[in-house]
Amino acid sequence: MKKSLIALAVLAASGAAMAQSSVTLFGIVDTGVSYVNNAGGANGDSSKYGVNTSGNATSRLGLRGTEDLGGGLKAGFWLEGEIFGDNGNAAGFNFTRESTVRLSGNFGEVRLGRETTPTFRAGLKYDLFGATGIGQNMGYSDWAGSGIADGNTIRKNNMVSYSSPNFGGVTANISYAFDEKANTIPGFGVGSKAGRYAGGNVGYDNGPLSVTAAYGTLSYGPAGDRDEMSIGASYNFGVAKVAGNVQQIKYKPNGAANEKFNNYLLGVSAPVGGVGEVKLQYALYDQKAINSKAHQLSLGYVHNLSKRTAVYGTVAYLKNQDDSALALNAKGVSNAVGFKANGDARNQTGVQVGIRHAF
């Protein structure tokens, strides 16, 4: 159960009480042990293993709050940062997962600050591994290595977002992130529009059926743009849930040919004994820009010990073909791979086991 802090500090100087309706402290601590083979070395055969973080859900610590302004209008905030259980946040703690202030009512909700983009949110709904651990879908990678901040479009700074009310299961989200001329492109210096993002999604969620389409564009300033589009769907049959997602990322460099990356995801999950869940997911990364492919097969099991605590295990296999050099993401242990000494791609097998606790 999340702990709600109902009373806030009294301003000593003025004696005025702050009128926040509620503030909630929340979080997840997820830590485990990982093993990944072919993770480095001149011959590509060395293995990495150790204590990992965020194998089943991203570890996080956050504060969120709301104030009832009357007439259906509410103000609120959300501050959330990542926790690294393997080293205790040796590099420091921040709120880069989300840092927004918001206003909501019958019109929907407006948010300002740093948060997840609507294009990433759309795909996240259909990734059975929740975009974390060695089983996660890696379709939203920074495929072209843009060199600008958040080139993967997962989150954006300086963003203004709007979410519509729910109209019989239909919702829409739209976001615009200002570049503020802060990002640079190698060879171009400070680029006007470099890092600027605009995107949105439209979804239908009603009973067992969910369908979401999304589109977004990220500017590289004088260097060009990255466009992405996706459509995902899932259906819960009760005994099993089937989910899939199709995504295309297209880089449009100025003065050069477009580069495409098509990603496909298909998964199925099923409850086990009322306390567990087994999930199987396949991803194909068709990297047309380099005429290469990668296949990822992931099998996981989560066993709930209570409403807040679970143990889990995941096994994943990644097959790189031709010039593909993707890597299983065992955060804190291994998340990078290249080629063998002879230039061949490396294939990887990984295993994660861990404990997840939410509060």
Specify the pLDDT at position 317. 98
Asked if residue 354 lies in contact with residue 55, where contact means CB atoms within 8 angstroms, the answer is yes
Specify the pLDDT at position 150. 76
Please report where in the chains the tokens 């290469």 appear, as a residue.
Answer: 292
Specify the pLDDT at position 4. 44
Specify the pLDDT at position 159. 97
Specify the pLDDT at position 21. 86
Specify the pLDDT at position 11. 31
Whole-structure pTM value = 0.90
The series of mean pLDDT values per 10 residues for the chain, 359 residues long, is 38 39 96 92 75 97 97 97 95 96 98 98 97 96 80 92 98 94 63 86 98 95 91 98 98 90 98 97 97 97 98 97 92 79 78 98
Domains along the chain?
A: 3-358 (2.40.160.10)
- 161 closest CA partner among 147, 183, 177: 177
DSSP state of 128: T
Distance CA 264, CA 134 (A): 17
Instruction: Tell me how far CA of residue 248 lies from CA of 96, 217, 288, 354, 355, in angstroms.
Output: 26, 12, 10, 33, 34
Q: Nearest 5 degrees, angle CA 114-CA 118-CA 122?
A: 135
Specify the pLDDT at position 334. 86
Specify the pLDDT at position 191. 56
- 212 closest CA partner among 290, 119, 141: 119
Specify the pLDDT at position 169. 98
Question: CA 60 from chain center: how many Å?
Answer: 13
If you write DSSP's letter for every residue of 282-324 in order, what string do you get? EEEEEEGGGTEEEEEEEEEEEEESSSSEEEEEEEEEEEE-TT-
